[in-house]
Structure 1
Amino acid sequence: MCDFSCKHDFSLIIQNISTIVTPKTGTTSVHVLGRGTPSKNPPFPDVFDKSVGMEIRVGMDGLLAYVGPTDGNDAREGRKRTRPSHSACRIVDANFSACALPGFVDAHTHAIFVGNRLPEWRLKLGGTTYADIHAAGGGIHATVRATRDARFDELMDATRPRLQRAMRLGTTTMEIKSGYGLEYETELRQLKVATALNKELPLDLSVTYCGAHSVPKGQTADEATEQLVTKDIPALAAAMAAGTVDCDAIDVFVETNVFPADNARRILDAGRTIAGLRGNFHGDELTHTRSGPLAQATQSRAVSHLELADDDDIACLRAAGTVAVLLPTTAHILRLTPPPARAMIEAGVPVALGSDFNPNAPHLSMPFVMHLACLDFRMTPDEALIAATLNAAASVGREERVGSLEVGKQGDIVLLGAPFWEHVIYEFSSPPIWMVVKAGRVIHENDDFAPTPAAAVEAKD
């Protein structure tokens, strides 16, 4: 394997791709290069014209240098296949039997914790609501108790395999929150874990401070707000300035019996003005908290959940340019009313998807998230793909860098060993992900899904 100190033209070339499917910056539709999708090829033939394959080249800087037809390639049946005229650390032949998508962006996770909530899952199956569990000291508070007792290395060891599992399922960028400390030292320890894993793993993490995930035991919402605004957020700003942690955003759980909107506004404003953190909050999940006006007032980049958002909220989100981050796994597991995804999309609100991975919804698979979005939220496959890539990137302020396969963006690619790209949603329980590429490096490869016959060539330095 090349160490990237060589003198090749490219770090990676993938040739003879059957279909490249990607959102395009500034549009609301997917762009298809190649043979198209099942809906455009009735009755879904198994044999296609293989005269022209698609190609992706990633430069030595990890950025996409070319996305288009394989140049100079003539691979009709009976003609000899030739190597490309460009050199690369690795050349992959997709054999006209693989589809390429952008790497997935998971817009909402709570992945840094220890323990589980299996007993609560059994209670919910019996009809107990999450609100009842939370009021009884379970839910977030149960995980807080366990996480406060965990050392840094224990949190690292618990979190690392979760993120590695997400990468194998195609996620190349992930938003990751603290929130299971509810006091500064534990919250800081979680942020240190995220900062360390961001450097260790080939996965881009957008780190969010979520010290207002719930009201700590023994405090009121007003007392907790005062603590956050006057002590914890200034301390976090100092830690960021010292290089102790990296942090991009601040999140608040906005609920009538947690942090009401007025408290949330103080916290979000403090995060923006004191620490320079982007606003991103939970809203309208269990009660209607009027997330739209709050997003406008706090200049928030994203709002998550939104199951109970109404037409006024949608209008405000559209006017503010705020991304609606929808969480199908949580809505499904808690049996919540689905958010008005169709009304949001039709109103022009950018809709993103997140796994909401946490002890309550322990699912990291973006293919599964997209499947539920289609099934439960009535989103189309194209809409789900955009929501899991470019719009999710926008929700964390990285739409100019990741989320689509466009020249100049990072070479984050999911390569499917399947005839049509929709198989990644259709076969959600075992999606046919052949390769996952991060910035031009193959970080996961599963030959069970390699095209037949597979032809991957390692170039010589």
Structure 2
Amino acid sequence: MGKLMVQNAKQVVLVCRNGEKVLKGESMKDVVVLEEDGQNGVSIIVGSNGLLEAIDHDAKIQQKYKETKFEKVIDATGKCVLPGFIDGHTHPVWDGDRVREFAMKLAGASYMEVHQAGGGINFTVEHTRKASEERLYELFKDRLERMLKCGTTLVECKSGYGLDLDTEIKMLKVIQKAKKELPIEISSTFCGAHSIPKGKTAEEATDDVINVQLPVVHKMMQNGELEVDHIDVFCEKGVFNLDQTKRILESGVNAGLAINFHGEELHPMKSAELGAELNARAISHLEEISDEGIKAMAKSGSIGVLLPTTAYVLRLNKPPARKLIDSGVAVALGTDFNPGVFCVSMPLTMHLACVNLHMSMNEALAAATINAAASLGKADTHGSLEVGKVGDLVIINAPRWEHLIYQMGGHDHLIQYVVKRGDVVYTKP
């Protein structure tokens, strides 16, 4: 018995057709779309193992699978099918919202001014330290369920609102519990170096992450208590400098983690060059990246995870998406969901990438699928609709897939089904 058949689709967006692991430059404009041919729509088969088994026009699929029964059949007449979206950068485990800070930002306060006024990361850290693991999980669960309804089937989730051993471990355990219990898939990141805790210097915080927090995280990974994929540092003026960032990242690599960190957000720090030197899997933000940093990333293959929501909310310089793409850097997208940038929607993030970062809709979709998968080391299995990959689908009620970006904020009406490994995990009421 098969798990899922989707039939009669008007369009199926494959994104890739030939096993590409990442799209760069001009190739980002060429996402692959399989269209109905006049008489036949397009069908998709997800096998009992949750993997894509076949994608073709209806007549060919019906002939091949005429004797096969399926647990679920979806009639997608007039609808479009896309890969599940991949959110490459989020901070979703926290207590203590920062809605009051939004008024400060609207009045012109900078990120660091808010921080110095007792807001920002330290405000959330105070509340997250006090919160129980159970409360953090319930808050986290609600946010992930909202992301899922927006079509996100794989999300990168960071710790980083603890800044001490006990709270960072508490956050990572919350992420681990969600991995086991929720249908959305999670790639986890240890971000103990997200800020400088009150009462510590940057050097003391660096020492604490390297010699206190990381060894415990590593031991719990070895014992099978945690699954952690990446090491992250906020490399920024007034936070962790280039040398401190390098030492923390190298310690993370020694603990078995891949590098996926914050760089060049508020000030030019040469962190893109550092990331390239260390063969970082991904570097996020890049609002202040230099031409030399762009060249270094293009050469190293490090992926740039752009966060158009952050530049929008904080009124920062926009990350130079066009220059990055035209220079051969693979660009991915993330919502940067956090207490200060409360966005759960990849469709809205893609819209902002198109309007504010001057990306085309094809480029934005590639950045939210195959390139975001690559930024998490999962392009072999995720990010496109190709036989053998996971059966993660978003089915929208529209005659062309571009409506998902074009209809700003309209995804709650457009998205009819979200499918994870062949299981329907969301159906529009």
Q: TM-score, normalised by structure 2?
A: 0.95
Pair 1:430 & 2:418 matched? no
For the residues of structure 2 that align with 1:388 and 1:335, how far apart are their CA atoms?
Answer: 22
Residue aligning to 1:67: 55
Please give the alpha-carbon distance, in whole angstroms, between the structure 2 residues aligned to 1:296 and 1:435.
39
1:228: Cα distance to partner? Answer: 1.3
* 2:43–2:61 contact (8 Å) kept in structure 1: no
SS in 1 for 2:265: coil
Report SS of the residue matched to 2:156: strand
Pair 58,131 (structure 1): closer, same or farther in 2 beyond 3 Å: same
How far did 1:242 drift? 1.5
Q: Paired residue for 1:176? A: 157
Whether the 8 Å contact between 2:395 and 2:418 is mirrored in structure 1 is yes
Letter in 1 for 2:239: V
Aligned with 1:125 (options 96, 106, 110): 106
Conservation of the 8 A alpha-carbon contact between 1:52 and 1:73: no
SS in 1 for 2:59: coil
Asked if 1:193 is matched to 2:181, the reply is: no
SS at match of 1:113: coil
Letter matched to residue 247 of structure 2: R
Larger gyration radius, structure 1 or structure 2: 1
% identity of equivalent residues: 45
Greater alpha carbon shift after TM alignment, 261-270 vs 226-235: 226-235
Q: In the alignment, which of 89, 98, 105 is matched to residue 71 of structure 2?
A: 89
In the alignment, is residue 53 of structure 1 matched against residue 45 of structure 2?
Answer: no
Q: CA deviation at 1:299?
A: 2.0
Correspondence for 1:454: none
Question: What is the CA distance between 1:73 and its match in structure 2?
Answer: 7.5
Deviations 1:107-162 (A, max 9, x none): 00000001210111111111111111112331000000000000010001111010
Aligned residue identity for 1:285:
E
C-alpha distance in 1 between matches for 2:247 and 2:224: 25
Hey, what does 1:353 align to over in structure 2? Answer: 333
The amino acid that maps onto 2:131 is A
Aligned with residue 277 of structure 2, among 290, 297, 322: 297
Measured at CA, do residues 12 and 391 of structure 1 come closer, stay the same or move farther in structure 2, by a change above 3 Å? same
Q: How many angstroms apart in 2 are the aligned matches of 1:112 and 1:259?
A: 22
Kept in 2: contact 1:53–1:73 (CA 8 A): no
Which residue of structure 2 lines up, in the alignment, with residue 19 of structure 1?
Answer: 11
Supply the distance in 2 between the matched residues of 1:71 and 1:405 (Cα, whole angstroms). Answer: 19
How far apart are the structure 2 equivalents of 1:362 and 1:191? 21
Corresponding residue for residue 30 of structure 1: 31
Q: Which runs of 4+ in 1 moved over 4 A?
A: none
Q: Which runs of 5+ in 1 are unaligned?
A: 1-7, 36-48, 75-82, 448-461
Q: Distance in 1 between matches of 2:68 and 2:407?
A: 35
Cα separation, partners in 2 of 1:417 and 1:85, compared to 1, 3 Å: farther
The amino acid across from 1:438 in the alignment is K
Give the superposed CA RMSD. 1.4
Task: Output the amino acid matched with 1:101.
Answer: L
> How far off its partner does 1:173 sit?
0.1
- Tell me by how many angstroms 1:86 deviates: 2.7
Give SS of 1:71's match.
helix
Structure 1 CA distance for aligned equivalents of residues 76 and 117 of structure 2:
54
Q: What letter matches 1:325 in structure 2?
A: V
What are the within-5 Å matches in structure 2 for residues 412-451 of structure 1? 412-431=392-411, 432-446=414-428
Alpha-carbon distance between aligned partners in 2 of 1:157 and 1:229, rounded to the nearest angstrom: 30
Distance 2:378 2:361 in 1: 22
Partners of 1:189 and 1:117 lie apart in 2 by 21
Counterpart of 1:98 (choices 66, 76, 79) is 79
TM-score w.r.t. length of structure 1: 0.88
Contact 1:63 / 1:407 at 8 angstroms: preserved in 2? yes
Q: Which amino acid aligns with 2:51?
A: L
TM superposition shift of 1:85:
4.2
For residues 108 and 393 of structure 2, the distance between their equivalents in structure 1, rounded to whole angstroms, comes to 41
1:208 and 2:189 correspond: yes
Q: How does 1:257-296 map to 2 (within 5 A)?
A: 257-273=238-254, 275-296=255-276
Residue of structure 2 equivalent to 1:80: none
Q: Distance in 1 between matches of 2:61 and 2:170?
A: 53
| SS in structure 2 of the partner of residue 331 of structure 1 | helix
Question: Hey, what's the Cα distance between the residues in 2 that align with 1:229 and 1:63?
Answer: 39
Q: Decide whether the 8 Å contact of 1:292 with 1:315 is kept in 2.
A: no
Aligned-pair distance for 1:84? Answer: 4.5
Question: Could you say which residue in structure 1 is the equivalent of 2:358?
Answer: 378
Amino acid paired to 2:45:
R
Distance in structure 2 (CA, Å) of the matches to 1:311 and 1:358? 29
Q: CA deviation at 1:246?
A: 1.4
- Please state whether the residue corresponding to 1:361 is helix, strand or coil: coil
Distance 2:333 2:74 in 1: 30
Please give the alpha-carbon distance, in whole angstroms, between the structure 1 residues aligned to 2:290 and 2:61.
53
Counterpart in 1 of 2:202? 221
Q: What is the aligned length? A: 417
- SS at 1:114's partner residue? coil
1:146/1:73 CA distance change after superposition, 3 Å: closer
Q: CA deviation at 1:289?
A: 0.9
* 2:263/2:272 contact within 8 Å kept: no
